[in-house]
Structure 1
Amino acid sequence: MIRVLLHRWPGLAGLLLVTLLAVSGAALSVFPAIERLASPQAAGGLSVGDLAARVQAEYPGVEQIRGAPSGRITAWWFQDGTPGAAVIDPATGQGVAPVDASPAERWLVNLHRQLFAGDTGRLVMATGAGVMLLLCASGAVLIARRMGGWRRWFGRTRGRLAARLHVEMARIAVAGLALSALTALWMTASTFGLLPDQARAPLFPATTSGQTGIAPNHIAALADLPVAALRDLSFPDPTDPTDAFTLKTDRGAGYLDQGTGEVLAWTDAQALSRVTETFTMLHTGRGAAVIGLVLGLMALSVPALAVSGFALWLAGWRARPRIRRNASASRAETVIFVGSEAGSTWGFAATLHRALSEAGQSVHVAPMTAFDPARYRAAKRLLILAATYGDGMAPASAKGFIERLEHAPALSGVPVAVLGFGDHSFPAFCAFADEVAQLLTAKGWTELLPPDAVDRQSPRDFARWGRALGRTLGLELELVHQPVQPATEALTLVSRRDYGAQVQAPTAILRFALPRAGFWQRLTRRGFAQFQAGDLLAVLPEGAPGVAPMPRLYSLASGSRDGFVEIVVRKQPGGLCSGQLVALEPGSTIRAFIRPNPGFHSGHGRAPLILIGAGTGIGPLAGMIRANRRARPVHLFFGLRARDSDFFFAEELAGWQRDGRLARLTTATSRGPRPYYVQDALRHEAAEVLAMIRSGARIMVCGGRAMAEGVTAALTDILAPAGLTPAVLKAEGRYVEDVF
């Protein structure tokens, strides 16, 4: 609810207005700093009385002197019947610059405050400030949820690039943006008289001394008042003995006798008046130029947040199928919750919704983030379709579901069925769905069906589960689902290097030409416009006619900056896709698309990297080393069968060592009289490995499951003396795996 109603839709609706407000405000933040630097500042001990005397000596017809919180002094006078005004040098009382703002500043002020539309424009811009404040509040709550609590506010972010950038910028700028929005709303309310904050001058005195001519520096009230406290000093008419000085300071306002200097009447400023002045200073930067510049810099994040936020919404909107006749949550008999990262699970939900609707059911489909049992008043059953992201994590449309479920009471008489989606070749196959099912049982929810799983988006698995659901509901339910894959690109093979024939494991390093990215891909930095080593290349094999091919995933050994697409493929016994790939000749083409895998990126820090891979698992690790142009310390442990058969990237690794991209290479060969594996190499170099980990090193493991298990066991022993475990490092984001 917070994400949709209080963040997404207000953000989209107020996108242009909030951006205009922020950009114009950022531009205006520069002028107070310029004013501060250009305006002569009063000496620390200078009083208002001395200042007024100096100005009066230079301009005998002075009528008014104003002091700004920035320290800028201005004066207005009549001389020989001609009005004059200037910025005053307090040291001399002389004018040094014109009072009027520059045309550029006036134009920006009118745009920022009122859109050149007077009071109507002020209300529109105030609405924009209100939207910004709402976005800041809702965004802060969403960031806290994403990071796992307020205490982890500055923890490591995960997810797609656009999402990470959005969060990184927001969590730094949100405080400044909220302050700017709050002060803007306060100032608008003050302008329209909605706050009792206006300084009330006392009633003008009925009687005065009847004398005139006292010098300002002889008036005690002015002699004791520092220039920094002055806001306005109006001079009396010297020909009218009943007139008086009018003084306004940051503490109050009153009248002074022009003959004796006596305080005739005085009213202290109200607390709200001081709040308004402080808020005005913070918002405009006048009196706090440095703060103004900082807030201006934070305001510049708004256009970037708008673009990244819009990109996230658009990506989700495009990935989510249009579900027709989606019943309201309060009236639906069946409620389907979807947890999806790339959008494929939404397609299964749409198929299930259509089949149940055709069977006469009233069905509502929603993301797992919208879970709220109080809304489902007519529900007779809940169905949860949950994919698993990365190493057992919740996917994008299920963030916060576990926390909501823990605090929600079980609905009496409303059973639940959980269907997981994943790839059984990964260790964390349907781990998130399993976690959901276990928590539902622990919280006392009734089970409609035993937890089940769909492997690799299998339509057969889905249809089988659908028939079981139909039997439970007493319906003839046949789920015929045709997965919709993302748009593919044609990749042309430009070169290949063959290995593994001696050990009966044909393997090839395949390099494809980088396809030209379209305008939208370049703008959103998606697909082949922006990828890096560790992301996945989803290849569509050529299958039987009439059968939709399921993509096979291969870790990328290159990034978009390299100018080519590279993977390492070993021919698997009976493997359709791997067999086709290994048989490719230069000039041949395949159909493929990029699937981001941000959980297995090396990052841009300076902490050391310990890369551990075996066989084709060297692919993404080699790509990371290739991209290590800043010579980050990298230690690679590479397991191979024999050096003369499958020493992948041998020449490149030697070159990367020479130019500093690879600090150290340790190989382990498993074929021979004394088999030696990467876990053995780790134990042999345990002291060096532990020292690197203590210095903040990050461990990345890629390869087969058996190898990964052996590495985990070795690292468990190596880390024990330091009181660490692989599980602790995983929780810190310092131990990641890409295991197949």
Structure 2
Amino acid sequence: IDFINKNVIVNQFTGEIISTSTSPFKGLAYLVRTLHIGKGHYIWATLLFISCLAILFFIYSGFAITLKRRKKSVNPFAKEVCEYIVLVGTEGGSTREFARAVHDDLLRQGKRSYIADMNDFGNYPQLEQLLIFASTYGDGDAPMTGTRFAELWKKHPIVQSFGYTVVGFGSLSYPEFCRFAKEVDVLLAKEPQAKAMTPLHTISDQSVDAFRQWAEKWSATQDLNLRLPSDFLTRKKRKRTELTVVERTPVMDDDIFLVRLKPLKNVAFESGDLLGITPADGRERLYSIAKYREEIWLSVKLVAQGVVSNLLNDLPIGETLRAVIEPNPNFHFPKKAPQVVCIANGAGMAPFLGMIEENTDKKPLTLVWGCRREASLELYRPYIDPYIEEGKISTYWQAVSREGDKFYVQDIIHREGSFFANLLAEGGVVMICGSMAMLKAVKETLEEVCHFHLRKPLSYFENNGQIKTDCY
């Protein structure tokens, strides 16, 4: 018989104790165990409970202190004491690298500089120089970190005289090149106490040379010599993934076809991420992807002079393609939203094919599809019809613009205005993928719906993350 502190051998028939052996170690082990679990007295148990809470507090405070130190390392001075304020409007983060290079060099030269997003604009009592680095998103729209700047500019007027400069980032391949930066420059020019230190400077395709030209001009107005590091825009080398062409559909109506690619190695990705393909001309093209049964699906519009679209259309089955999978978390399916609307036209259906496939919980999902002719739907009908039968699509609306009633996507939104208003009011999410022209029309109609039904601007829901877009 094993006791806490001894072992006893007993005759099983007579009950006679044959031998007894003590074990001090067993007694000590029992004592340690008793103290460890708080057994024995409520005071000791209470002390142990407080100790557990203290450990959790120290873990939390340690992380909090680390994050605070990192934040201070970016802005060692409080914004209230800084003469140089650097504001950034960016969608993907690349513009911030330019702004950060200027901010860091100002600090190196002993200047008190503060860097923040344009959406964080506030009161700067010691402001002398305002530097704004603004990219343009989509069809001339404000980027994600600059959507509220105009509103905040009116809310926090600057009373003292100050100098400013605006640097716009974009691509000359888009008709609305740097439109947001131009609008910001006009806004600042209206202030009588503001003085432009340099004219609006625009930069296409993140040209470092063009940025250095601006830096030289602005430095001269400040009696400074900005020394930008030669590698400040060096990108981390992105790993390329090898993909095998498994299937490619014929080119259908609207010149669109599907391509199915299988990664040769295990790689993590989600529907809504981007596939970057760089042809011989060196300029990367990005395609929104669907994760469909662990494969990558692309919906491609064949363009007569399109280098990559023709490349994908000509690749034989079994051929290997090397590309970069770029995470795009801002366009992933919102798992916590009560319901979702997916709006697409043209080749914008691709990511939604994967998202709807993964809607196994049958979350209320409305698909709005815009095409020119009924025949355009044949490419996606083998997927959409089963999704509807399985309950993965709860509502399906189709707009055909060249046949029948000649409806556009925005006409459906206008017709179902109360539905979209209720969805946004209840925390639902609207996802839009397709052409920039469609996006512009959809946002204009949603703006009208929000004002009429909800008495709020569309920007309110955009800032809440309820409008997700990936358009081209």
Paired position in structure 2 for 1:513: 263
Paired position in structure 1 for 2:25: none
Counterpart code for 2:326: I
Correspondence 1:489-504 to 2 at 5 A: 489-491=239-241, 492-503=243-254
Larger helix proportion, structure 1 or 2? 1
Larger strand proportion, structure 1 or 2? 2
* Alignment check: 8 A CA contact 2:163 2:194 kept: yes
Counterpart code for 1:557: A
Matched, 1:487 2:237: yes
Paired position in structure 2 for 1:415: 163
Q: Of the candidates 290, 296, 303, which is equivalent to residue 557 of structure 1?
A: 290
Paired position in structure 1 for 2:434: 703
Q: Of the candidates 259, 262, 272, which is equivalent to residue 534 of structure 1?
A: 272
Name the CA shift for 1:690/1:389 in 2 (closer, same or farther; >3 Å): closer
Paired position in structure 2 for 1:587: 319
Q: Render the CA deviation track for 1:17-38: whole Å, top value 9, x for unaligned.
A: xxxxxxxxxxxxxxxxxxxxxx
Correspondence 1:661-680 to 2 at 5 A: 661-672=392-403, 675-680=406-411
Q: Render the CA deviation track for 1:58-95: whole Å, top value 9, x for unaligned.
A: xxxxxxxxxxxxxxxxxxxxxxxxxxxxxxxxxxxxxx
Correspondence 1:216-615 to 2 at 5 A: 296=53, 343-345=93-95, 347-349=97-99, 367-368=115-116, 383-387=131-135, 392=142, 395=145, 412=161, 415-422=163-170, 431=180, 434-435=183-184, 438=187, 442=191, 444-459=193-208, 461-462=210-211, 465-466=214-215, 469=218, 483-491=233-241, 492-503=243-254, 505-513=255-263, 515-516=265-266, 528=268, 531-537=269-275, 539-544=276-281, 549-558=282-291, 562-572=293-303, 574-585=305-316, 586-598=318-330, 600-605=331-336, 607-615=338-346
SS at match of 2:249: strand
* Alignment check: 8 A CA contact 1:625 1:656 kept: yes
Matched, 1:635 2:385: no
SS at match of 1:558: strand
Give unmatched runs, 5+ long, in structure 1.
1-97, 108-230, 232-279, 321-325, 518-527
CA shift, 1:614, in A, is 0.6
Paired position in structure 2 for 1:737: 469
Name the CA shift for 1:506/1:654 in 2 (closer, same or farther; >3 Å): closer
CA shift, 1:638, in A, is 0.6
* Alignment check: 8 A CA contact 2:256 2:299 kept: no
Paired position in structure 2 for 1:649: 380
CA shift, 1:630, in A, is 0.8
- Aligned residues: CA RMSD: 5.7
CA shift, 1:617, in A, is 1.6
Name the CA shift for 1:692/1:668 in 2 (closer, same or farther; >3 Å): same
* Alignment check: 8 A CA contact 1:497 1:510 kept: yes
Partners of 1:301 and 1:389 in 2: how far apart? 42
Partners of 1:368 and 1:690 in 2: how far apart? 33
Name the CA shift for 1:673/1:628 in 2 (closer, same or farther; >3 Å): closer
CA shift, 1:631, in A, is 0.4
CA shift, 1:514, in A, is 7.1
* Alignment check: 8 A CA contact 2:203 2:210 kept: yes
Q: Render the CA deviation track for 1:595-648: whole Å, top value 9, x for unaligned.
A: 4342x3331235222221111121222232122121001110111233434644
SS at match of 2:370: strand
Q: Of the candidates 27, 34, 37, which is equivalent to residue 102 of structure 1?
A: 34
Partners of 1:508 and 1:309 in 2: how far apart? 50
| Equivalences, count | 430
* Alignment check: 8 A CA contact 2:88 2:145 kept: no
Correspondence 1:6-155 to 2 at 5 A: 102-105=34-37
SS at match of 1:368: strand
Name the CA shift for 1:670/1:700 in 2 (closer, same or farther; >3 Å): same
Name the CA shift for 1:689/1:487 in 2 (closer, same or farther; >3 Å): same
Name the CA shift for 1:707/1:352 in 2 (closer, same or farther; >3 Å): same
Name the CA shift for 1:103/1:362 in 2 (closer, same or farther; >3 Å): closer
Stretch moving more, 346-355 or 701-710: 346-355
Paired position in structure 2 for 1:659: 390
Paired position in structure 2 for 1:162: none
CA shift, 1:711, in A, is 2.8
Partners of 1:399 and 1:313 in 2: how far apart? 28
Partners of 1:726 and 1:453 in 2: how far apart? 29
CA shift, 1:486, in A, is 3.5
Paired position in structure 1 for 2:26: none
CA shift, 1:555, in A, is 2.3
Q: Render the CA deviation track for 1:225-268: whole Å, top value 9, x for unaligned.
A: xxxxxx9xxxxxxxxxxxxxxxxxxxxxxxxxxxxxxxxxxxxx
Partners of 1:693 and 1:474 in 2: how far apart? 51
CA shift, 1:584, in A, is 3.6
SS at match of 1:102: helix
Partners of 2:56 and 2:197 in 1: how far apart? 51
Give unmatched runs, 5+ long, in structure 2.
1-29
* Alignment check: 8 A CA contact 1:533 1:556 kept: yes
* Alignment check: 8 A CA contact 1:420 1:453 kept: yes
Partners of 2:137 and 2:69 in 1: how far apart? 19
Partners of 1:629 and 1:305 in 2: how far apart? 39
Partners of 1:476 and 1:301 in 2: how far apart? 47
CA shift, 1:556, in A, is 2.9
Name the CA shift for 1:383/1:721 in 2 (closer, same or farther; >3 Å): closer
Partners of 1:682 and 1:736 in 2: how far apart? 16
Q: Render the CA deviation track for 1:152-187: whole Å, top value 9, x for unaligned.
A: xxxxxxxxxxxxxxxxxxxxxxxxxxxxxxxxxxxx
* Alignment check: 8 A CA contact 1:388 1:395 kept: no
* Alignment check: 8 A CA contact 1:334 1:382 kept: yes
Name the CA shift for 1:333/1:687 in 2 (closer, same or farther; >3 Å): closer
Identity of aligned residues (%): 22
Partners of 1:474 and 1:99 in 2: how far apart? 74
Partners of 1:607 and 1:447 in 2: how far apart? 48
Higher Rg: 1
SS at match of 2:350: helix
Partners of 1:649 and 1:638 in 2: how far apart? 10
